[in-house]
Amino acid sequence: MTSCTTLPRTLSRRSRRTKAAGTSLDVDLYATSALEDSTELFRQIRDAGPVVWLPRHRMWAMGRFADVRAALRDDERFL
């Protein structure tokens, strides 16, 4: 089985230049400010890297369309 931190080569160039996979970001997806306007929250997720751990929610997040599409198309690596 492949490690979660190994990303497909098809990720966007910008994503590959950002921080390494596994970056942790402590944000609250259900905060009033996030629910009213999530633009800043999703910018933080995108800027943190292609794959970001959200410890408050105990989940991984991917913020860029190209990264999500690549993961969804890679059945062997992402189950």
- DSSP H helical ranges for the chain: 13-17, 32-36, 39-48, 65-73
> Residue 71: what pLDDT?
92
Tell me the per-residue pLDDT of 47-71, one tens digit each, with 9 for 90 and over.
999 999 999 999 999 999 999 999 9
What pTM value is reported for the model?
0.65
Note the pLDDT tens digit of each residue in 33-52. 999 999 999 999 999 999 99
